[in-house]
Amino acid sequence: MKVDWNRRACARHGHVTYAPDEATLRERLRTETRLGAAWRCLRCGDFTLGAPAGSGPADQAPLVPRGKVLRDLLLLRFLAFERAVRGVFIVLAAAAVWKFSNSQDSVRRLFDEYLDVFRPVFRHFHYDLDHSPVVDTIQKSFGYKHSTLVLVAVLLLAYALIEIVEAVGLWYAKRWAEYLTVVATAAFLPLEVYELTEHVSWLKIGTLVLNILAVLYIALAKRLFGLRGGHRAFEAERRSDSLLEVADTAGVR
């Protein structure tokens, strides 16, 4: 099924109408109906009744993302959202590690008390808590040095910051954010692959696949690093797709 991104965006945000000062151009975007003047939407191309939302010289008209450009914009917003969620979770993890580093002893005491309470219960079900991998991992973490934990918290916070900066930049379709996302995501790929060799989980595989796709997609669709003609080709594509531009070239002919 082919999704009409233009109509979808118009249904959510309303049509974008504009009256250019240039008379020939204006006539191409305007039509007279029994109910009054109607203006052509710069995004979906439908005529809508009522006064235009804006007016002025044609080159001052809003550059409305439509078609493929609009679809790319929405996909990047999805990535921005995914990164914002991940960023918030990592901040929480950093805060937890930080808190733990300051109260390691009391947490250990509490944990041991719980372990004493639950040991008989688990033994009843033939489960040996003292040799459980989860308990083992937690007990090992009590042995970590305070400085190690602080370092882990700081690194997590730095990683979260990168994710959040990416999220904000991608949401507003900033080109630097696209570069940052591609570079930072690609830089972490070897670590993600290494993680998988240690322990395989579907979440890790999913994250790795999503990140590889994101790197390839952003670099190619946004023509980063001079790919497919680079920035100039990207701007040209954005403009050539604008309906005002289409009307303009039609008017010249």
Q: Provide the minimum distance between the beta carbon of 10 and Zn ion in the complex, in angstroms, as a whole number.
A: 3
Q: Which is nearer to Zn ion, 47 or 98 (CB)?
A: 47
To which residue do tokens 């009590």 refer?
A: 142
Q: Which 20-79 positions form the footprint of Zn ion (CB under 5 A)?
A: 41, 43-44
Structure tokens given for 62: 């809003």
Look at residue 50 and give its three-state secondary structure: coil
Q: Give the residue with the Cβ less far from Zn ion, 10 or 162.
A: 10
Provide the token pair at 234.
């990207």
Task: Identify whether the C-beta of residue 43 lies closer than 8 Å to the C-beta of residue 69.
Answer: no
Size of the site for Zn ion (CB under 5 A): 5
Nearer to Zn ion, 15 or 28 (CB): 15
Hey, what are 80's tokens? 């921005």
Minimum CB separation of residue 149 from Zn ion in Å reads 54
Nearer to Zn ion, 44 or 219 (CB): 44
Write down the least CB distance from residue 174 to Zn ion, Å.
Answer: 25
- Which two three-digit tokens encode residue 31? 């039509």
In one letter, which amino acid is 96?
A: A
Distance, in Å, from the CA atom of 115 to the CA atom of 95, rounded to the nearest integer, reads 25
Rounded CA separation 203/195 (Å) = 11
Rounded-to-integer distance, Cα 109 and Cα 149, Å: 18
Residue partners of 228: CB distance under 8 A and separation at least 6:
220
43 vs 83, beta carbon nearer Zn ion: 43
Shortest spacing between CB 249 and Zn ion, in angstroms: 21
Minimum distance from CB of 65 to Zn ion (Å)?
12
Distance CA 215, CA 213 (A): 6
Of residues 10 and 76, the one with the C-beta less far from Zn ion? 10
Nearer to Zn ion, 35 or 252 (CB): 35
Return the residues of window 4-23 that contact Zn ion according to CB under 5 A.
10, 15
- Report in angstroms how near the CB of residue 168 gets to Zn ion at its nearest: 28
SS3 content of the chain, % helix, strand, coil (to 5): 75, 5, 20
| Cα 43 to Cα 13, 38, 65, distances in angstroms | 11, 15, 7
Q: How far is the CB of 56 from Zn ion (least distance, A)?
A: 19
Residue entry with tokens 């000062």: 21
Contact residues toward Zn ion (CB under 5 A) are 10, 15, 41, 43-44
